[in-house]
Amino acid sequence: MLQVERVSKTFPAAAGPVRVLDEVSLSLAPGQRLAIMGPSGSGKSTLLSILGGLDEPSAGSVRLDGVDPFALDARGRARFRNRRIGFVFQEHHLLSGCSALDNVVLPALAEGAVSRDVEVRAVRLLERVGLADRAAALPAQLSGGERQRVAVARALVLAPRLVLADEPTGQLDARAADTVAALLVELAAESGGMLVVVTHAERIAARVGTVRHLDDGRLVP
């Protein structure tokens, strides 16, 4: 499970500390999905960074399958993120000199080597996202929607327990956005993991399922 209890985040500022998150609590069980909406500056991306172990909360706790990532040292936390959490961002962050397939297997390289099982899963994921015939293509040879589909496959290649998506369709046209969102939800569900999506688009949030809003740093129904 993902258990978030009374998480707050405060940033220093010249005029005094600014609280971006104010005692946010939520929980997800395997297979559950959550969309988080809210205006710009409401703390959505900050919350996602904390859930992903990229940024520490000022107060409160985060546990994924009983593990507090912030109790781990830097190397342990990086390994935990790589094995347990998949990320999809608004920018695809693909390596320009690597093929689509090589980009998908990148998380495994952080573990030292790409096993045969991971390679087979990567090929199957590219098939599932409709890019089986584009596995050798470089990012520059792909459309924006195709690049984001590669990013979705990459996020899922190690079958993470938690998938976090930060405005994953924000730079796509409506048709490509619907395709990427549908694939993200479908593939995350098949892996039995949990999915949290931050989005401004009500249509995308509705695809995810449960929707909650961040308002002035607080998570409300």
The stretch 137-153 carries a mean pLDDT of 94
pTM, entire model: 0.93
The answer on pLDDT for 183 being more than 90 is no
Q: What is the three-class DSSP state of 74?
A: helix
Q: What is the pLDDT of residues 22-77, one digit of tens each?
A: 999 999 999 999 999 988 888 999 999 999 999 999 999 999 999 999 999 999 99
**Tokens 């094995």 belong to which residue?**
83
What is the per-residue pLDDT for 152?
Answer: 92
User: How sure is the predictor about 191, in pLDDT bands with cuts at 50, 70 and 90?
Assistant: confident
Of the candidates 69, 36, 34, the residue with the CA atom closest to the CA atom of residue 53? 69
Looking at the DSSP bridge assignments, the partners of residue 11 are 18
**Top-confidence range, 37-46, 75-84, 173-182:** 75-84
Q: Where are the domains of the chain?
A: 30-49+75-220
Chain centre to alpha carbon of residue 200: 15
User: Strand ranges (DSSP E) for 38-161?
Assistant: 59-64, 85-88
The pair of three-digit structure tokens given for residue 10, joined into one six-digit string? 């405060």
Identity of residue 30: P
Which of the following CATH numbers is that of domain 30-49+75-220: 3.30.70.270, 3.30.1490.20, 3.40.50.300, 1.20.1740.10? Answer: 3.40.50.300
Question: 212 vs 25, 89, 133, 169, CA distance in Å?
Answer: 12, 19, 38, 18
**Cα–Cα distance for residue pair 218/31, rounded to 1 Å:** 24
